Every structure is written in structure tokens, then in C-alpha cells.
Amino acid sequence: MGTPQLTKNQSLVMGALAHSDGPMSAYTILDKLRDHGFRAPLQVYRALDKLLEYGLVHRLESLNAFVACTCPHEHEHDHGVTAFTICEGCGQVTEFHDEGIEQRLSALVRAQSFKTEKTTIEIRGHCKSCA
């Protein structure tokens, strides 16, 4: 059960995100895809739901926006906790993963007897170029 073949709409949304410099809101994606027959937000949101499920796309909660996953590895298994730096200047988003963070959070949460389903880590600030 890896990533299934994408449907037409899913491919279009994936393509839009993959070729974008930075994160895009669902409505921005919609606008980019009007020429390809997209007319309504739901067409985008439905595709995004699947792409998120497949792990091809991440949602940035603090921006209400979406980015293509930049993980080098295959998307066939859940990659663990994903963290992002988000530059307020140029909009650049960098995805990264760290085993240390993951373990530390896991320990803290275990101490609460809390069962984690999804972890959001987003760091807003300025990148090297925009400092």
C-alpha cells in the first residue's frame, strides 16, 4: 500500500505545489488551475486531502497553506515528525526532521500518558538572506 496512481485533479494540484517557490493556499492553487478546468474550492481541497494522506504534501497550520514534501526518501511509510522553518521575508519554507526532537517530544508526551496522532512544529522568522 504505497502511493496510488494520482487522479487528474490530484496530479494537477501536486504539480502546482511542486513547481511553486513557496507555500500556496488552496485558493491560490485554485486560481493557478482555472485554465485546467478548476472552478470550485472543493476540487482543490479534495485533492489536497488525498495528497496529505499519501504524505506528498504538508499543511502549514500557521499559514493555512500547503507545500510539497521535500523529503528525499520515499513516501511509502510515514516519515516521523516534520518541522518547518518559514521565512516571513521571502516566504521560503524548509522542511527538516530530527530524531532528537522526536524522542524528546515522545518522552514528554508519554509522561502525560498522551497518545500522539499528529505533531506540528513550525518556526517563523527570517532566513539567512532576509536577516
Residues of span 68-97 touching its own copies by CB under 8 A: 83, 85, 87-88, 94, 96
Report residue 76 as a C-alpha cell.
511509502
Q: What cell does 65 get?
A: 497553506
Q: Counting contacts by CB under 8 A, is residue 20 touching its own copies? A: no
* Contact track, its own copies, 24-63, x by CB under 8 A: -------------------------------------xx-
Q: Supply the minimum distance, in Å, between the C-beta of residue 17 and its own copies.
A: 20
Residue 28 near which of DNA, its own copies, Zn ion, none (CB within 5-8 Å, type-dependent): DNA
Residues in 77-96 that interact with Zn ion by CB under 5 A: 87, 89-90, 92
Looking only at Cα atoms, what is the longest distance across the chain? 52
Annotated binding residue at 78? Answer: yes
- Please check whether residue 76 is in contact with residue 114, taking contact to mean a CB–CB distance below 8 angstroms: no
Asked whether the beta carbons of 75 and 69 are under 8 A apart, the reply is: yes
Radius of gyration of the chain measured on its C-alpha atoms: 16
Position 71 contacts Zn ion (CB under 5 A): yes
Q: Which of 80, 79, 94 is nearest to 23 (CA)?
A: 94
Q: Supply the minimum distance, in Å, between the C-beta of residue 117 and Zn ion.
A: 12
71 is in an annotated binding site: no
Annotated binding site for Zn(2+): 87, 90, 127, 130
